[in-house]
Amino acid sequence: MQENTYLMQGMDNEFRPMTITMVISMVCHVLLAAILIYAPISRQQPDFAMPSVIHVSMVTLAETEPEIEAVPEPVIPDDLESLAVSAPEDFPEDEPVKPEPVPEPEPVKDTPDPDVIPEPVKPEPVKPEPVKPEPEKPEPVKPRPEKTEPVAKKIVDNKKVVPRKKRPRFKKPAKIIADTKLVKPRGPSREEIIKNAIANIRKDVKAASGNNDGLAGPGLAGKEASALLNVYQVNLAVRVERNWAFSTQMAGDDKDLEGIIGFSVMPSGQLKNIWFEKKSGNSYMDESIRKAVVKSNPFQAHPRGLFKPHVEVYLRYTPKGLNK
């Protein structure tokens, strides 16, 4: 009895910390349960369903898809006419790219002497206004109730709002592969590149859903919506790649250079913002990729069925594909 009393006494002394521990434990369990409930919704996000990196190197694509006819290696055309893109429209207001007024070079008044080098008059240095893209922080994906609805239903709802005629034509991935012949060719092997990229994405989606059904989200519509976004992103990436001119000599033959640039595209296809997630360390290379993104503007409009205020694309740019 004395022992019991002693034990009880000891428990009285430890009662308060134990209570705190139990309360914290309960809170944690409740939070964990809440997260587990909401977690499937967040997993519907295409980012989780897809692999983190999709390689769309024009060379590797030809090798990765044996079921598709062999894709010839991309050939740099002799003239850049094939690279021609539609004339870019003005930037949106939040992208201040304005040419500064340029000072006129001062004329040299001295009479030229055959033995003296006519000294060129240096114009006042023109300071190109640096484009400072406001890095848009990636919004944390919040579980939204409408995400749980099948995408097919959303398409039906939006048809009421947006007339079909004005919607940009963008078919579902399964049909796109079949219809690539109808798309006006923009250059050599572009169709093959996109076709392979789409096939890769479909393969990845299939693999992801097959390996873990819980990650792919409920229903086929979720997968297709995710694939639709990814196909669109790859389409944008291919367009930037086709506009990316990069001199090996300028970069000093450092093949290990690598950076990540992000940009967002509005539903109309207009470039909204550019930012660097990670700079390569080589200013020329960073500038060349930024130019490629700007030259690619305007992009293709958002595909039908994609309801986002803007689409963000992240490109890992590297000169490794050179001199292959």
Residues 89-128 within binding reach of another protein (CB under 8 A): 89, 97-100, 102-108, 110, 112, 114-118, 120-123, 126, 128
Instruction: Among 44, 58, 170, 306, indicate the residue that binds another protein (CB under 8 A).
Output: 58
Closer to another protein by CB, 151 or 229: give it: 229
Closer to another protein by CB, 121 or 162: give it: 121
Give, as ranges, the residues between 126 and 155 that touch another protein (CB under 8 A).
126, 128-129, 131, 138, 140-141
Q: Is there a contact between 259 and 320 (Cβ–Cβ < 8 Å)?
A: no
Closer to another protein by CB, 157 or 287: give it: 287
**Token code pair at residue 251:** 């970069």
- The yes or no reply on residue 47 touching another protein (CB under 8 A) is yes
What is the rounded CA–CA span in Å between residue 61 and residue 58?
5
- The yes or no reply on residue 20 touching another protein (CB under 8 A) is yes
- The yes or no reply on residue 7 touching another protein (CB under 8 A) is no
- The yes or no reply on residue 68 touching another protein (CB under 8 A) is no
What is the rounded CA–CA span in Å between residue 286 and residue 284?
5
Closer to another protein by CB, 23 or 178: give it: 23
Burial class (CB in 10 A: 0-12, 13-18, 19+), 47: middle
The full DSSP string for 172-238 is -HHHHHHHGGGSPP-STTHHHHHHHHHHHHHHHHHHHHHH-HHHH-SSHHHHHHHHHHHHHHHHHHH
Q: Site mask, another protein, residues 237-276, x = CB under 8 A? A: x--xxxxxxxxxxx--x------x----------------
Give, as ranges, the residues between 161 and 190 that touch another protein (CB under 8 A).
none
Q: Is there a contact between 187 and 83 (Cβ–Cβ < 8 Å)?
A: yes
- The yes or no reply on residue 21 touching another protein (CB under 8 A) is yes
What is the rounded CA–CA span in Å between residue 234 and residue 299?
12
Options 54-62, 145-153, 170-178, 206-214: segment touching another protein (CB under 8 A): 54-62
- The yes or no reply on residue 288 touching another protein (CB under 8 A) is yes
What is the rounded CA–CA span in Å between residue 27 and residue 30?
5
CB of 271 to another protein, least distance (A): 12
CA distances from 141 to 137, 145, 205 (A): 12, 12, 20
Instruction: Among 11, 27, 37, 174, indicate the residue that binds another protein (CB under 8 A).
Output: 27
What is the rounded CA–CA span in Å between residue 275 and residue 277?
6
Total residues contacting another protein (rule CB under 8 A)?
101
Closer to another protein by CB, 299 or 317: give it: 317
What is the rounded CA–CA span in Å between residue 287 and residue 181?
34
Q: Is there a contact between 94 and 273 (Cβ–Cβ < 8 Å)?
A: yes
Closer to another protein by CB, 97 or 182: give it: 97
